Amino acid sequence: MGSGLSLHVPEPEVRPGGAPDFSGVKIARAGTVRRPPVDVDPSEIRDLAFSIIRVLNRNGEAVGEWAGTLTDEETLAGLKTMMRVRAFDRRMLMAQRQGKTSFYMQCLGEEAIACAFRKALEPGDMNFPTYRQQGLLIADDYPLVDMMCQIYSNRRDPLKGRQLPIMYSSKSHGFFSISGNLATQFVQGVGWAMASAIKGGKDIAAAWIGDGSTAESDFHAGMVFASTYKAPVVLNIVNNQWAISTFQGIAKGGSGTFAARGLGFGIPSLRVDGNDYLAVHAAAKWAVERARRNLGPTLIEWVTYRAAAHSTSDDPSAYRPKEETDAWPLGDPVKRLKNHLILRGAWSEERHVQAEAEIDAEILAAQKEAESHGTLHTGPKPSVRDMFEGVYEEMPPHLRRQRQEAGV
């Protein structure tokens, strides 16, 4: 019979101190993955769950069937949005280190996903995001000062101190309240999409989840309902390789790719270069059109890399090589789009440097205005009265008594 059983525990390719190794990331040449019709039968595109849709090649050229969804002007606007997100993250990270807020999470290296995806949506569509999709708001021109006031939990906090820093919410900008409980947004997004279909509306939903959270039961419940009821929803898995300190192989299991999870549910599944702004927009537009034409859900795995720490409470040097970020084979989304626009003659290094300075000044001005309303340890806070309001349509007697006792 041989030796006894042994438990298989997946291990990352390399540990701190070792040489980064991404040889297991199979990358198709840009432009080689076909673009199927929007109404394609899911059984005919199963292979797309195992490849990677890419538009920008190594030279910065946009190639293949997925290219051409944006003009140069729209692409330049996308570049500036990503630069704005990155500058925003940089200032807020610094503010946390200065004690002005208790917590922050960057999306460094992942900016293209949220920024490009937002441009494929219409007013009325609703995102159910995780905590690294701030680009959805910034790409939709949500006020930077309001975002900062929420992070500082000051007197102008739109959420009146009821949410942790970076857990934004804006119905008018199609951004459902972020939940600190992982994977809850996924099944809620499917439910919202089902409700839109029941009402005969035209609005679709986009549900978001990280690679690690696909191990949660809510992910699978959302997939079942989306598949069964053909909900008008785009199901986004942001595979940034790390679930805090746990590498993506733990949650992925033996499925090969996260996109392949959709195949068993009969959901068309794509795998996309998440650091390629043009590829993200093209794939998002395809999936959004499919949902709006009542053809059902699409699952998309965005292949990217979390270049920064998981949060301000994390030290990635404890579990991955410091050089790993630079070794990531899909590069930096901002640099790649910048090089493409320069190649097109629509941008230059000089204009890029100037734009960086202008954006930094814009973010700094917004920060100064936000801090004039208070920070974590300075200035006025939301009123105690706020915690009694916005919960019940008619305040019950026991809360009225408590408010009176508090003198507010």
Just list the catalytic residues: 306, 310, 319
The identity of residue 392, as a single letter, is: Y
What is residue 212's three-state secondary structure? Answer: helix
Distance CA 148, CA 88 (A): 9
Strands 126-128 and 205-210: parallel
* Number of C-beta neighbours around residue 314 at 10 A: 16
For residues 112 and 274, the answer to whether their CB atoms sit within 8 Å is yes
For residues 233 and 196, the answer to whether their CB atoms sit within 8 Å is no
* DSSP annotation of 298: E
Q: Residue 190: which H helix or E strand, with range? A: helix 184-198
Instruction: Tell me the β-bridge partners of 205.
Output: 126, 233
Distance CA 400, CA 394 (A): 10
Degrees, nearest 5: CA angle 66-174-109: 50
For residues 265 and 199, the answer to whether their CB atoms sit within 8 Å is no
Distance CA 144, CA 146 (A): 5
Beta strands in 119-210 (DSSP E): 126-128, 205-210
Degrees, nearest 5: CA angle 259-193-237: 20
Tokens for 95, please give them: 């503010």
* DSSP annotation of 381: -
Distance CA 248, CA 57 (A): 26
